[in-house]
Amino acid sequence: MVEGRGQPQTVRLITTLLDHLQAQAESLAALYQQRWEQELVFDEIKTHQMSATRLLRSRTPDLVNQEVAI
């Protein structure tokens, strides 16, 4: 169970990690939420804040930051 915005919900996560002590479900769910928020930011930048003639070609966060900063 993961509680988000006051409402508990069940989250199912498929992974190749087998050691439940090393990678606890709650930690993985929190990391997934952080990753999802980052993806939403990238979507906002790519589709709404940049002109149609300028596309981001970078594939890593560091290179995207560098490309946007130019």
**Secondary structure class of 34 (helix, strand, coil):** helix
Q: What Rg, from alpha-carbon coordinates, does the chain have?
A: 17
CB 1 within 8 A of CB 8: yes
Structural contact between residues 2 and 26, judged by C-beta atoms closer than 8 angstroms: yes
DSSP secondary structure letter of residue 60? S
User: Which residues are registered as beta bridge partners of 4?
Assistant: 7
Say what the pLDDT of residue 18 is. 85
Residue with tokens 């003639």: 53
- In the prediction, which pLDDT does 69 show? 75
Total structural domains in the chain? Answer: 1
Task: Give the pLDDT of residue 1.
Answer: 53
Which residues in the chain show pLDDT less than 50? none
Please report the pLDDT score of residue 58 as a whole number.
Answer: 85
What pLDDT was estimated at residue 50?
A: 66
Residue 53 lies in domain: 2-17+24-69
